[in-house]
């Protein structure tokens, strides 16, 4: 390692150790926005359910930490470059309409249907879809409830009918014992079943696939354990109220709240942070198509085009920020060599040091 690389590594290490003031400020603003949203959406806390206050604290901590980590992540030189370029490409004059339509398609096929996972493995895709939609469904139910945006009131005297209110505006009345009522009251159980099914498939693969076992990291299991714990403790609550006359409910309620809050806190720090990183893939697609339409980089050895000049130029700008210097000492840059020629150059240099090949 060159001394300059070592110095840069040290510099970036000390930068990592400091608290980032800007990210902290924006994280706090995000927390403030959620709090204002809670206050306004719950009719000045009239519909806010105090029993769910613990969950709200968990959400606020998770929001702060997620925003903080995201902003710090965006500061890494290659991430900052890609973020800038992705938006530039998206907003480029003459391409905005096409890009906006493309964005909708990308969100559908890429972020929601996750076709890129299916092309890798159908089983994996099915498991991921189960966990994904299970979590989305659970979030769609619990977040509005926690924020006091949605609440239920019984209609009539016998408690058989309920009406759901969104931001204090009433919707249709439903019979608690009907299929609709059963489904509404069991949405979280449905979500839990989806998540547990997905977790089971993931776990089966993790425990059986020798390749997966070899490259496993502890976080892979932690994420699955967390998803399972949140789902199963949530279903315990239903089991208690439906079949045990509410026995242990208070304990189970605390247990569930604890797993959910720990789960929320795990999101910004653990494997699940990829939820927020993945959308950058769409930016990459805009970046790549902008690069493909622009000039191409020709290899300095074989002369063939091998990448967009845009991306090679970006790499040449980013690499020195990371402590690398691939300059050739004569004004050129090794990065302008195509990968195939790089491999050939290594082989030629090596065989010269052993008296030729063969």
Residue 72 token pair: 């710090």
Contact indicator for 101, 155 with CB cutoff of 8 Å: no
Pick 94 or 329: Cβ nearer other proteins: 329
One of 31, 117, 155, 222 touching other proteins (CB under 8 A): 117
Q: Does 114 bind other proteins (CB under 8 A)?
A: no
Q: Does 287 bind other proteins (CB under 8 A)?
A: yes
Contact set for other proteins, span 119-158 (CB under 8 A): 119-120
Pick 63 or 82: Cβ nearer other proteins: 82
Helix or strand (DSSP H, E) at 61? helix 53-75
One of 39, 43, 52, 73 touching other proteins (CB under 8 A): 73
CB of 351 to other proteins, least distance (A): 4
Task: Write the binding mask 194 to 223 for other proteins: x where contact by CB under 8 A, - elsewhere.
Answer: ---------------xxxxxxx-x------
Task: Locate all alpha helices (DSSP H) within 209-338, ordered by sequence.
Answer: 210-214, 218-243, 249-269, 274-277, 280-293, 309-321
Q: Does 352 bind other proteins (CB under 8 A)?
A: yes
> Distance (Å, rounded) from C-alpha 166 to C-alpha 155?
16
Phi, psi torsion values for 85, nearest 5 degrees: -65, -40
Q: Which stretch binds other proteins (CB under 8 A): 148-156, 186-194, 199-207, 313-321?
A: 313-321
Task: Write the binding mask 161 to 200 for other proteins: x where contact by CB under 8 A, - elsewhere.
Answer: ----------------------------------------
Q: Does 309 bind other proteins (CB under 8 A)?
A: no
Return the bridge partners of 109, or none: none
Pick 159 or 355: Cβ nearer other proteins: 355
Q: Does 281 bind other proteins (CB under 8 A)?
A: yes
> Distance (Å, rounded) from C-alpha 14 to C-alpha 158?
65
Q: Does 46 bind other proteins (CB under 8 A)?
A: no
Beta strand ranges found along the chain (DSSP E): 150-155, 161-166, 169-175, 296-298, 305-308
Residues 6 or more apart in contact with residue 112 via CB below 8 angstroms: none
Contact indicator for 196, 232 with CB cutoff of 8 Å: yes
Return the bridge partners of 68, or none: none
- Nearest residue to 134 via CA among 48, 197, 205, 87: 197
CB of 15 to other proteins, least distance (A): 15
Contact set for other proteins, span 314-333 (CB under 8 A): 315, 318-319, 322-329, 332-333
Pick 209 or 293: Cβ nearer other proteins: 209
Beta strands 296-298 and 169-175 are: unpaired
Q: Which stretch binds other proteins (CB under 8 A): 50-58, 88-96, 196-204, 343-351?
A: 343-351
Pick 175 or 325: Cβ nearer other proteins: 325
Residue 1 token pair: 């390692």
> Distance (Å, rounded) from C-alpha 82 to C-alpha 205?
33
Q: Does 353 bind other proteins (CB under 8 A)?
A: yes
Pick 57 or 318: Cβ nearer other proteins: 318
CB of 326 to other proteins, least distance (A): 5
Q: Does 70 bind other proteins (CB under 8 A)?
A: no
- Nearest residue to 196 via CA among 168, 234, 163: 234
Phi, psi torsion values for 221, nearest 5 degrees: -80, -35
């Amino acid at each position: 390692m060159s001394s300059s690389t070592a110095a840069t590594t040290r510099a970036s290490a000390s930068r990592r150790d400091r608290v980032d003031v800007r990210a902290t400020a924006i994280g706090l603003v995000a927390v403030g926005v959620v709090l204002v949203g809670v206050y306004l959406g719950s009719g000045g806390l009239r519909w806010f359910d105090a029993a769910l206050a613990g969950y709200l604290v968990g959400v606020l901590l998770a929001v702060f930490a997620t925003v903080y980590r995201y902003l710090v992540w965006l500061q890494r030189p290659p991430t900052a470059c890609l973020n800038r370029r992705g938006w530039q490409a998206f907003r480029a004059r003459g391409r905005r309409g096409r890009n906006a339509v493309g964005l909708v398609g990308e969100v559908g096929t890429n972020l929601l249907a996750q076709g890129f996972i299916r092309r890798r493995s159908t089983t994996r895709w099915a498991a991921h879809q189960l966990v994904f939609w299970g979590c989305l469904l659970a979030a769609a139910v619990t977040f509005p409830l926690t924020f006091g945006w949605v609440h239920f009131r019984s209609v009539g005297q016998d408690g058989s009918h309920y009406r759901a209110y969104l931001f204090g505006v009433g919707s249709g009345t439903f019979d608690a014992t009907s299929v609709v009522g059963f489904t509404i009251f069991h949405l979280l159980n449905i979500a839990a079943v989806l998540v547990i099914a997905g977790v089971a498939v993931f776990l089966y693969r993790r425990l059986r696939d020798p390749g997966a076992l070899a490259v496993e990291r502890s976080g892979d299991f932690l994420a699955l354990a967390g998803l399972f714990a949140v789902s199963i403790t949530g279903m315990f609550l239903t089991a208690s109220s439906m079949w045990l006359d509410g026995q242990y409910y208070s304990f189970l309620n605390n247990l569930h709240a604890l797993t959910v809050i720990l789960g929320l806190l795990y999101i910004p720090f653990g494997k699940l942070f990829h939820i927020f990183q993945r959308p950058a893939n769409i930016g990459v697609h805009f970046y790549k198509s902008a690069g493909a339409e622009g000039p191409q980089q020709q290899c300095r050895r074989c002369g063939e085009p091998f990448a967009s000049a845009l991306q090679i130029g970006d790499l040449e700008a980013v690499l020195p920020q990371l402590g690398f210097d691939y300059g050739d000492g004569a004004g050129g840059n090794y990065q302008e060599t195509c990968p195939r020629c790089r491999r050939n150059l290594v082989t030629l240099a090596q065989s010269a040091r052993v008296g030729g090949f063969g």
